[in-house]
Structure 1
Amino acid sequence: MFKIGEFSRLSRVSVRMLRHYDQLGLLTPSQTDSFTGYRYYSADQLPRLNRIIALRDLGFSLEQIAEMLDEDVSAEQLLGMLKLKRADVEQQMQTEQERLSRLEAQIKQMNQAANHTKYDVILRDIESELVGTYREVAKDDNRIQEMFDLVEIYIAGYENARADKPPFTIYYDDEYRDEEIDCEVCVPLKYAIPENESIRVRKTPKQFKVACVIHVGNYLNIGQAYNALLNWIDSNGYQMKGLIREIYLKYGADGLEFELPQTYLAQESNQYVTELQLAVEKL
């Protein structure tokens, strides 16, 4: 028999933890002196103690370990508990991996911001333009891409009608929306073509005093450009006057059965170039 201190040294488990295991009923001393209160442990208790240590290392709580060490728990039930714990650990790993990915993206974004010139906002006038357009309340951004495809396919049916200019989107909502987006996609034309029930042909009005800013990279980070535009308007004593436009100076277009102007096509999303345009007026 070993006193608690001796058993602690040999098992490499602190006296405090041995007492805690005793209080929980996980590992009670083989014998307790009724007069002195000393706890005594035997060598044949080491396998149970080692199992407690191993299960704790696997992430089980002491309450779960008590249930697993219950003599009435079958091997099949114990295996089931281990499998459930494995699934729990796998889910935790996935969650942490996703968090790590978000951290890495944030670090990359901050490094890029530190290494690149800040957004420059300029004021200029925007000329009128002949365009083929399609407007609807789009379900989401993917639907907006489909709307562009519809217009491009329709225009491709008319010989040499597509102008060598970038397409753009006009947003009509009074607030930001990532679903049910009231927007109009516009594709430049060299000449007027017939309309159909969906696609219209019109000239956009000339605009004066338009605040413009360029965003380079994929659309996930375009919010930075919007923030720069907002800060510039506020800092320079302007207010919004018109609708927001996104002009796609470099963009991706895969899967179409005809060629688009190569001047504006990009192979990778980090090569995209988008100009934000917003008419403003002095306060």
Structure 2
Amino acid sequence: MFGIGDFARLGLVSVRMLRHYDAIGLLRPAHVDPVTGYRSYRADQLSRLNRVVALKDLGFTLEQVRAIVDDEVSTEELHGMVRLRRAELEARISADLARLRGVEARLRAIEREGGMGTADVVVKKVAPMRVAELSALAPSYEPESISPVIGPLFGELCARLDAAGVTPAGPSVAYYLPEGDGPVRVHAAFPLSAEPPAGGGLRVVTLPAIETAATLLHHGSMDGVGSTFQALAHWIEENGYRSLSLGREVYLHCPEEEDAWVTELQIEVARPGTAP
């Protein structure tokens, strides 16, 4: 058998941890000297220790760990728990990174307040557009809510267009419609030059013309689109226009590197002096 110090080194844990596990009945020594109180462990107890540490590191409480190891969880079951926990952690990390990107985008917007040029704002008429589209709900307008929805929508839409043998007639388009005070319906669309065959799972609609749209190009990842939209909003007010609705995002150039993206932002407006 092994003394507590040697067993701790073999198990890659601290002596203090082993004493704590003994105190709560999670891992008892194989033998305790009645005179000296020295604890001794058998090599086969490393198996239980490994399970205890693995489960604890997966986020289970010690009470939960005790229940699981007492049920003699198998190696296969442990691997399943690890896979599940990994998926949960990856999802949490992804959400945290998205939230961090959102904070950084807000800070950039704050830094650019009053300093972002709007000389390139173009006021124009947008023609009606026949599109194939898919839509889904997002919890809010926040980038960390929109991104996980719009990406898969465009992926699925591309797959359905390919399956139907349809080639888009222009750059992709996104627009958003609020549903109540919280959720937002995200629409992902591609313009069409001809009607797709029936039965392809595609919703075909005509986006109406926008008589007067204030437009501005956003350069870079959509994580930072907020500051460009806000600059456009300032320009609209400062030049006497009145916003009617958020128009569309037209993805003019979307290479693999998102920092090189070019997106036209459109807001439907009424010209100065137009009655509400």
Q: Deviations over 1:208-233 (max 9, x none)?
A: 11110101011121111111111011
Q: Deviations over 1:161-197 (max 9, x none)?
A: 22341101111127996xx421211112221013558
Larger Rg: 1
Instruction: Give the 5 Å matches for 1:9-28.
Output: none
Residue 228 (1) aligns with residue 231 (2): yes
C-alpha contact (below 8 Å) 2:160/2:200 kept by paired residues: no
C-alpha contact (below 8 Å) 1:119/1:228 kept by paired residues: no
Q: Which residue of 1 aligns with 2:170?
A: 165
C-alpha contact (below 8 Å) 2:219/2:260 kept by paired residues: yes
Deviation of 1:118 (Å): 4.7
Aligned length: 170
Q: Which residue of 1 aligns with 2:87?
A: none
Q: Deviations over 1:63-121 (max 9, x none)?
A: xxxxxxxxxxxx969xx9xxxxxxxxxxxxxxxxxx9xx89x968x959x97x855621
Residue 156 (1) aligns with residue 176 (2): no
C-alpha contact (below 8 Å) 2:179/2:185 kept by paired residues: no
Whole-angstrom CA distance in 2 between matches of 1:148 and 1:247: 13
Whole-angstrom CA distance in 2 between matches of 1:271 and 1:165: 19
C-alpha contact (below 8 Å) 2:138/2:185 kept by paired residues: yes
Q: Which residue of 1 aligns with 2:30?
A: none
**Post-superposition, which runs of at least 4 consecutive aligned residues in structure 1 deviate over 4 A?**
116-119, 174-177, 195-198
The normalised TM-score by structure 2 is: 0.52
C-alpha contact (below 8 Å) 1:218/1:270 kept by paired residues: yes
Aligned CA RMSD, in angstroms, stands at 3.7
Letter in 2 for 1:220: D
Residue 269 (1) aligns with residue 258 (2): yes
C-alpha contact (below 8 Å) 2:149/2:186 kept by paired residues: no
Letter in 2 for 1:126: V
3-state DSSP of counterpart to 2:245: coil
Identical aligned pairs, as a percentage?
22
Alpha-carbon spacing, 1:234–1:106, altered in 2? closer, same or farther (3 Å): closer
3-state DSSP of counterpart to 1:162: coil
Structure 2's unaligned 5+ residue stretches are 1-14, 21-99, 140-144
3-state DSSP of counterpart to 2:151: helix
Q: Which residue of 2 aligns with 1:120?
A: 120
Q: Which residue of 1 aligns with 2:135?
A: 135
Structure 1's unaligned 5+ residue stretches are 1-74, 81-98, 252-265
Letter in 1 for 2:267: L
3-state DSSP of counterpart to 2:134: strand
Deviation of 1:129 (Å): 1.7
Alpha-carbon spacing, 1:240–1:195, altered in 2? closer, same or farther (3 Å): farther
Residue 208 (1) aligns with residue 214 (2): no
The normalised TM-score by structure 1 is: 0.50
Alpha-carbon spacing, 1:242–1:213, altered in 2? closer, same or farther (3 Å): same
C-alpha contact (below 8 Å) 2:133/2:189 kept by paired residues: yes
Instruction: Give the 5 Å matches for 1:231-270.
Output: 231-251=234-254, 266-270=255-259
Q: Which residue of 1 aligns with 2:268?
A: 279
